[in-house]
Structure 1
Amino acid sequence: MNVTLAVKQYVSKMIETSGSGMKVLLMDRETTSVVSVVYSQSEILQREVYLFERIESQNREPMKHLKALCFLRPTKENVELLVQELRKPKYSVYFIFFSNVISKSEIKALAEADEQEVVAEVQEFYGDFIAVNPHLFSLNLTGVCRGRSWEPSMLQRCTQGLTAVLLSLKKCPMIRYQLSSDLSKRLAESVKQIITKEYELFDFRKTEVPPLLLILDRSDDAITPLLNQWTYQAMVHELLGLNNNRIDLSRVPGVNKDLKEVVLSADNDEFYANNLYLNFGEIGTNIKNLMEDFQKKRPKGQQKLESISDMKAFVETYPQFKKMSGTVSKHVTVVGELSRLVSERVLMEVSEVEQELACQGDHGNASQMVRRMLQNPRVSELDAVRLVMLYALRYERHTNTILPALKGELERRGTSEHLKQMVSRVVDFGGKRVRGSDLITANDAVAITKQFFKGLKGVENVYTQHQPLLQDTLDQLIKGRLKDSQFPYLGPSSLRDRPQDIIVFVIGGATYEEALSVYNLNRTSPGVRIVLGGSHIHNTKSFLEEVMAATGQGSERSQGGSRHSNRR
């Protein structure tokens, strides 16, 4: 099960279906993201796709020498834009691919608009999600619920995204959901309804052990998205923000103009592929090795090109050298900025306290550590509030005066009203009243020897004690111990055998820490393949937007499109 490969194959099939000749790729906002995450522009140019346009763009020039590949979500808006396009076609021929199920009435409307008979093909290719990593997908949605209820358009969008993942992986699963979450049950029922309605699409070859879809709720583990991370991909997202594989580095002091926005893609960047799950210390060592390797390979002085063979050798090696130069510059800049932020915001000290709160049970020591960090002027406003949130979640059962005192420290720091409110909102979102599982007891008795960074040898276990609740849930599932009373099956059937293909979806968003757990479980569990998805991939800032939306006052939320459909 590989979601990246599934989407890449869809794009390849689109290009192959249109045959040879120059092409324009006509997309909407969301399908642009879907394609850009799995294909670089240079890769797609090699397939005779020379122009990229948006369906909603009003100022596109007619280019009758081009074939149009249309890859669109089947929303009412997109269908209407296509109808207008076909009445006055700008290209010679149209190959139309919808990323989800399209209704017969909408197909009829397109056929009626195609008076000039320019449409050569209409198909459904289910790339209706962002393939972040081979085992990780996102729908790029925040603010999916209000209180404990779905936003109706978001329920529809999550259903469509999730059924598209199932169709792209060719899985017709049994479904389990988190009983404590009405959101999980409603999404499970909604997905089941689509599978039943579109039963012909889900008629895949039966396997000995049926695949399993497990639907979870973010509110069951509000601690994981609040923790600082120490693996490369997760750190980049937490400290710099990773949006469809792109990082905005424009605010980095003294950054080269060519590096103001960079792309981190495991498909096209060997260093990133080899390091995205390694910790920060190891990355430091590997950056040093990359630099040394680069120094050895770079041309010495002015290379004399005295013969045809000299010129040929230079031409052959130069692109490789140039690519390596770009890779080195990019990662040195990114790691350098991460290092600067870690130092500036004393994140090692902050992270130690976070891990103490998440994993240890010494209340007196924890409260003293938090208070000490709040009094440190180098601790950022966000990090200070994050520590108080973790304390409030961790020691919610303690009736004491510590929390008001910590809130008082935030007041003295001049913390914004918005962030101060987030402390109680996080408890409303993920406190013991709404949690289905006992998040806070797993590591209470564990005593871990505290070690610190040692040169570039890596982040020692004091910074990586925490394991997300998802890891324990999946471990229990794989061992056949996940309780039906907490995670019931939808429908009368249940799985007797050990599950092999597992798709997990987290309503309210997943995290890169959870993706790391899934990656490790895939490596260490023979015969088991797990794919993780979420309505969003969170860092702390986006998670707090989710909390704000769920607990009342809305923050800006992404409207990923709300009306559409599925097929192949």
Structure 2
Amino acid sequence: MVFDVITSATDYVRRIVEGCSGLKALLTDDETLSMIGLVYSQLEAYNKGVFLIEKLETPRSEQMKHMKCLVFVRPNSTNLNILQKELASPKFGEYHIFFSNIVRKALLEELAESDTFELVSEVQEYFLDFYAVAPQLFHLNVLPCLLSPSGENPILERLVDGISSLFLALKMRPFIRYDTHSKLCRFVCERLSVRMDQENTLFDFRRRESNPIVLILDRMQDPLTPLMTPWTYEAMIHELIGVKNNRVNLRHSPDARKGYQEVVLDSKQDKFYNVNRYKNYGDLGVNIKSLVDQFQEKARYNHSTSTIEDMMKFLEAYPELRSSSSEVNKHVILISELSRLVTSRHLMDVAQLEQDIACRNSLTEHQNQLFKILESPSIHIEDKFRLSLIYALRYEEIPQNRLGEIKDTLKKLGLSAERLQLFSSLLKYGGNASRTSDIFQNKSILGLVRNTVRRGIVGVENVFAQHVPLIVHIIDDIMKGRLRETEFPFMTPATGKNVPKEILIFITGGVTYQESRVVAIINGELQTESEPEISAVANFAQSNGFRIILGGSTIHNSKSFLSEVSRIAYPWR
């Protein structure tokens, strides 16, 4: 079985779309439509005979008895009620019903009673109840995602539904480990364990050479990574513009022409994005120039394309080329917008200090540099605020941290009282008293060694890539069998001494594209020499046959993460 969420999701969609011949309609709900759209295009569906794609809830008066109806929805009472109404007054010649997760027996019985015209040809459970973003990345589109684990909460149950559906899609019954300091992680693990016991037959898969392992982490263990300015293509787009289900809204970009105010990032259809999604900002400029130069050669355009502005003029000058090269247009516009935002917000100045604070203890030096940035009129107040929060995480327990002065300065600059409250909310959520992780690599001897080595090998050329997300060290510890059971216990006792080769990590509270990228490196999907600490983990993983999948409640940028943290009104431990 391939340990790859895109392959698993695509296989289910193909079985739905291609399972019967003839003219077909596909009815979905909001969630399943997005899940399908991430792995299967409308053109692909059209080529397989699907001439109509609609929401299940859409009213239909026209009779379409010549078409077969494919229904793919989540198994909940809302969808059951709509299905019952559809079957009571059917518009299609026959129905093939697919549920995205385990279906309760009572729901199936109600559905069968509704099929009075006997038009339902099949009912299947196809376990695609997650959003597959990359081979190594999925999320569950759950917001809010920083939750209290008490009581019956449909959002918490959604986490259990999504994770268990991925287990079934990957055909595995894994050992489960969790962050013992997080009630939320324990809650999810307990429910997952109960679910697998209740559905023992479904989870009865052929034993593997080494049993997969699932580690349920809490975002509070690494509140730093979502706050750092990313410098790779996919992560930068999400941080500075925003990505939702592979769609990017460019309506506020001054360079977004008609037809490009919303663009789609699809690694299957878009070669440039597939090659460059994990590339750093410096490489992007070179690669987009190369792409434009190839089109320039075809058009025999004799002027310079050395800057983003030149490229925009070139594309404007050749409308016939523009109409046939949407990929080039899209990425020139995206990189132009990223370049504009980086320049206008002076993000390189901000990020350089971010990286230094994240990777080095130097209170006085960092204070002086931070106050200098706070006084700069050219830097956006939200970037000053985010940088101050990173500083607060590093120096929260140092009496001389001058956090009061920093807050007063931000208040004078116009930051609202509600935003200032985020200092205490963030430290309550992911400060030293809440987390047990060594995100600054200064608690343990191993962490201090890593920090020293990192400072010794990182050069000027990758000053923006010094910070290593906590997940890299956790993956390294799992692979080398040194992840402590006192901190990350098993839900049920593990049998056998084999180190798991397939590792799934799920972060309650959300994941980031920065973390997805390092997992792609560890899996061998991207080579990098400029980040030796990550490369060392990747070399070990690939030499020993490890494969990692990463998931989360949602995919955060700093804005969405801080929005969630602002909701914190209770201690997490």
- When the two structures are superposed, what TM-score results if normalisation uses the length of structure 1? 0.89
1:273 maps to what in 2? Answer: 274
Q: How do 1:215-226 and structure 2 match up within 5 A?
A: 215-226=216-227
The Cα shift of 1:298 comes to: 3.9
Q: How do 1:116-195 and structure 2 match up within 5 A?
A: 116-146=117-147, 149=150, 152-195=153-196
Alpha-carbon displacement from aligned partner over 1:452-487 (angstroms, at most 9, x marks no partner): 6xxxxxxx3211100011100100111111111111
Alpha-carbon displacement from aligned partner over 1:318-346 (angstroms, at most 9, x marks no partner): xx977861110000000000000000000
Pair 164,400 (structure 1): closer, same or farther in 2 beyond 3 Å: same
Which ranges in structure 2 are unaligned for 5 or more consecutive residues? 303-319, 525-537
The Cα shift of 1:537 comes to: 0.8
1:439 maps to what in 2? Answer: 439
Q: Which moved more, 1:52-61 or 1:171-180?
A: 52-61
Alpha-carbon distance in structure 1 between the residues aligned to 2:228 and 2:78: 39
Alpha-carbon distance in structure 1 between the residues aligned to 2:512 and 2:56: 32
Alpha-carbon distance in structure 2 between the residues aligned to 1:78 and 1:281: 48
Query: Do 1:241 and 1:248's aligned partners in 2 also have CA atoms closer than 8 Å?
Result: yes
Query: Do 1:422 and 1:548's aligned partners in 2 also have CA atoms closer than 8 Å?
Result: yes
Q: Secondary structure at the match of 2:473?
A: helix
The Cα shift of 1:493 comes to: 2.1
Alpha-carbon distance in structure 1 between the residues aligned to 2:569 and 2:137: 27
Q: Secondary structure at the match of 1:262?
A: strand
Q: Secondary structure at the match of 2:242?
A: coil
Alignment pair present for 1:332 and 2:332: yes
Pair 290,401 (structure 1): closer, same or farther in 2 beyond 3 Å: closer
Structure with the larger RCO, 1 or 2 (CA within 8 Å, 6+ apart): 1
1:530 maps to what in 2? Answer: 548
Identity %: 40
Q: How do 1:249-328 and structure 2 match up within 5 A?
A: 249-298=250-299, 325-328=325-328
Which ranges in structure 1 are unaligned for 5 or more consecutive residues? 302-319, 453-459, 554-568
Alpha-carbon distance in structure 2 between the residues aligned to 1:373 and 1:59: 59
1:100 maps to what in 2? Answer: 101
Query: Do 2:177 and 2:491's aligned partners in 1 also have CA atoms closer than 8 Å?
Result: yes
The Cα shift of 1:58 comes to: 2.8
Pair 187,254 (structure 1): closer, same or farther in 2 beyond 3 Å: same
The Cα shift of 1:148 comes to: 6.5
2:463 maps to what in 1? Answer: 462
Q: Secondary structure at the match of 1:215?
A: strand
Query: Do 2:345 and 2:378's aligned partners in 1 also have CA atoms closer than 8 Å?
Result: yes
Alpha-carbon distance in structure 2 between the residues aligned to 1:437 and 1:300: 55
The counterpart of 1:4, out of the listed 3, 6, 16, is: 6
1:306 maps to what in 2? Answer: none
The Cα shift of 1:46 comes to: 1.0
Alpha-carbon displacement from aligned partner over 1:509-565 (angstroms, at most 9, x marks no partner): 011111111111112312101100000111011111221233369xxxxxxxxxxxx
Alpha-carbon displacement from aligned partner over 1:412-433 (angstroms, at most 9, x marks no partner): 1111222211121111110111
2:512 maps to what in 1? Answer: 511
Alpha-carbon distance in structure 2 between the residues aligned to 1:150 and 1:279: 44
Query: Do 1:144 and 1:150's aligned partners in 2 also have CA atoms closer than 8 Å?
Result: no
The Cα shift of 1:492 comes to: 2.1
Alignment pair present for 1:406 and 2:406: yes
The Cα shift of 1:385 comes to: 1.1
Query: Do 2:250 and 2:263's aligned partners in 1 also have CA atoms closer than 8 Å?
Result: yes
2:562 maps to what in 1? Answer: 544
- Alignment length, in residue pairs? 527
1:16 maps to what in 2? Answer: 18
Aligned AA (1:13): R
Alignment pair present for 1:54 and 2:72: no
Alpha-carbon distance in structure 2 between the residues aligned to 1:285 and 1:321: 21
Pair 401,232 (structure 1): closer, same or farther in 2 beyond 3 Å: closer
Q: Which moved more, 1:542-551 or 1:107-116?
A: 542-551
Aligned AA (2:511): A
Q: Secondary structure at the match of 1:140?
A: coil
Alpha-carbon displacement from aligned partner over 1:79-98 (angstroms, at most 9, x marks no partner): 11111111011111110000
- When the two structures are superposed, what TM-score results if normalisation uses the length of structure 2? 0.88
Alpha-carbon distance in structure 2 between the residues aligned to 1:55 and 1:551: 38
1:308 maps to what in 2? Answer: none
1:476 maps to what in 2? Answer: 477
The Cα shift of 1:438 comes to: 2.7
Pair 503,231 (structure 1): closer, same or farther in 2 beyond 3 Å: same
2:357 maps to what in 1? Answer: 357
1:562 maps to what in 2? Answer: none
Pair 281,50 (structure 1): closer, same or farther in 2 beyond 3 Å: same
Query: Do 2:130 and 2:138's aligned partners in 1 also have CA atoms closer than 8 Å?
Result: yes
Query: Do 2:127 and 2:168's aligned partners in 1 also have CA atoms closer than 8 Å?
Result: yes
Query: Do 1:66 and 1:92's aligned partners in 2 also have CA atoms closer than 8 Å?
Result: yes
Q: Which moved more, 1:85-94 or 1:488-497?
A: 488-497
Q: Secondary structure at the match of 2:11?
A: helix
Alpha-carbon distance in structure 1 between the residues aligned to 2:26 and 2:14: 12
Q: Secondary structure at the match of 1:52?
A: strand
Q: Which moved more, 1:83-92 or 1:413-422?
A: 413-422
Aligned AA (1:437): S
The Cα shift of 1:237 comes to: 0.5
1:66 maps to what in 2? Answer: 67
The Cα shift of 1:265 comes to: 0.9
Aligned AA (1:538): H
1:369 maps to what in 2? Answer: 369
2:309 maps to what in 1? Answer: none
Aligned AA (2:288): I
Q: Could you say what the CA RMSD is over the residues aligned between the two structures, in angstroms?
A: 2.1
